Amino acid sequence: MGVIDNLRGLNILIWGYGREGQSTRQFLKRCCEPASVEVFEGSREEIDEDKYDLIIKSPGIRMDDEDPKYTSQTELFLEEYRDRVIGITGTKGKSTTSSMLHHVLTKVRPGKTILLGNIGEPCLNFFDEIDDDTLVVFEMSCHQLAHVHVSPHIAVFLNLHEEHLDYYGTMYRYFEAKKHITSYQREDDIFLVGDGVPEIDTKAKVIRMPYDTTGDYDLQILGKHNVCNANFVLKIVTDVLEFDRAAAVEALHDFRGLPHRLAYIGERDGVRYYDDSISTIPEATIQALESVPGAYSVLVGGMDRGIGYEVLIDYMHAHPEYRYICSYDSGKRIYSEVSDLDYVYYEETLDRAVRLARDITPPGKACILSPASASYGYFKNFEQRGEMFKDYVFAEL
């Protein structure tokens, strides 16, 4: 029996009614015949679990234990289509790698390839569009993976850094969520894993991927880390799926990247500006400074989620050639450690930080928004932060 048959006649609760919750309700209405469907947005303690046969939880809702009555969009989708899914996770680079892989596959593969998950539309939006020739590239966040008990046929774990500690509390719990991408794989499955990811007990064939930035693919996107992402893509496309390497490399060259990821937004008064608003960890900010030609000033700071900034603070001490402008809570914490350095500044808001950057960055150089912090609490999301950065850069003084 498939997922649709399994859901028939059930009393179902959708817990959480954001984008995935709304998508789930449409899926149930479009594809299934449940006995009843209700929506709830309160706390778990308020749920009368005995009333329901199944509770479909949205990924942003924290639940510490495992309960077979609870499931998710991701789990339902994988239960039906896991054999056609390439799942990609990692602290950084999963959106770019997923998009890059999807782009290459659409160029070299005759069948339909769909990109979904954390990067785009909820997976159940596509449930009834998948046929025998469809291949799915699924960007999978830690929240989407936290309570799944099915893993994709091809799993990719790019890297692991401190992130989401405000949600998980410890790196161990964060890693426990992410490792589900391979925990339930089978012997005929494939697991590609990058440097720095701890050992995971898996039945899949393991392909270890070193952090290799030597590939010469003439990429249109900045950063040595993106060469590493391209290596993952080529390994999947040519070695695992056995498509032509030359065609794959040509397709890599055509990939233009994603917004808010070291994206060039324009020049003003001779200064080039780059939007790297997706940067939420210190390692990403360091990568940005080392990737942008002529980098001079960088805007750092946002929501303080409790991650360590030692690697960035050490980098600041070692690289006085840059100007670091800190803002918001995490910026204040960073600044408190380096306020004795005359090339580090603090401004309360992004608006004021941009004004300072415009004053101190000389023509011919570049300014980068690369916050090393989440946007929440100050902006709706990282996309809004990037758009506001652009607005401030080109606003009249």
CATH number at residue 382: 3.90.190.20
Q: Is residue 229 classed exposed, middle or buried when 0-12, 13-18 and 19+ CB atoms within 10 A define those classes? A: buried
Answer for the pair 194, 227: CB distance below 8 angstroms, yes or no: no
- Give the per-residue pLDDT at 214: 85
- Give the per-residue pLDDT at 240: 98
The 3-state secondary structure of 132-184 reads CCCEEEEECCHHHHCCCCCCCCEEEECCCCCCCHHHHCCHHHHHHHHCHHHHC
Enter the tokens of residue 298: 């960088």
Same domain, residue pair 214 and 170: yes
Q: What backbone phi and psi angles, to 5 degrees, belong to 183?
A: -55, -30
pLDDT, averaged per 10 consecutive residues of the chain (397 residues), comes to 93 96 97 96 96 96 92 98 98 96 97 92 95 96 96 98 88 95 98 96 97 88 94 98 96 94 96 97 96 97 94 98 98 97 98 98 98 96 97 89
Domain termination residue (choose one: 206, 225, 254): 254
Same domain, residue pair 105 and 235: yes
Same domain, residue pair 39 and 92: no
CA distance 241 to 223: 26
Domain termination residue (choose one: 54, 71, 88): 71
Helix and strand tally (H, E) in the chain? 15, 16
Q: What backbone phi and psi angles, to 5 degrees, belong to 323?
A: -115, 120
Q: Which of 395, 368, 382, 355 is nearest to 272 (CA)?
A: 368
Answer for the pair 221, 99: CB distance below 8 angstroms, yes or no: no
- Give the per-residue pLDDT at 216: 80
Same domain, residue pair 46 and 101: no
Same domain, residue pair 52 and 112: no
Give CA separation, 61 vs 12, 22, 89, 144, 306, in Å.
17, 15, 19, 10, 19
* Domains held by the chain: number: 3
CATH number at residue 226: 3.40.1190.10
Same domain, residue pair 132 and 171: yes
- Give the per-residue pLDDT at 167: 85
Same domain, residue pair 144 and 213: yes
Cross-strand pairs, 36: 11
Ordered DSSP codes for 5-68: HHHTT-EEEEE--SHHHHHHHHHHHHH---SEEEEE-S-GGG--GGG-SEEEE-TTS---S--T
Domain termination residue (choose one: 228, 254, 280): 254
Same domain, residue pair 282 and 375: yes
Same domain, residue pair 61 and 101: no
Give the end-to-end CA distance of the chain in Å, rounded to a whole number: 64
Enter the DSSP assignment of 361.
Answer: S
Cross-strand pairs, 324: 298, 344
Same domain, residue pair 53 and 127: no
Same domain, residue pair 383 and 316: yes
Enter the tokens of residue 373: 């912090």
- Give the per-residue pLDDT at 120: 79
- Count CB-CB contacts under 10 A for residue 217: 18
Q: What backbone phi and psi angles, to 5 degrees, belong to 36?
A: -155, 155
Domain that holds residue 318: 263-394
Give CA separation, 2 vs 32, 34, 76, 154, 387, in Å.
11, 14, 10, 21, 43
Same domain, residue pair 209 and 294: no
Q: Which of 362, 330, 332, 367 is nearest to 346 (CA)?
A: 332
- Give the per-residue pLDDT at 164: 87
Strand ranges for 255-390 from DSSP E: 263-268, 271-275, 295-300, 323-326, 344-346, 366-369
Q: What is the pLDDT of residues 173-219, one digit of tens each?
A: 999 999 999 999 999 999 999 989 999 999 999 999 999 988 888 99
CA distance 279 to 261: 8
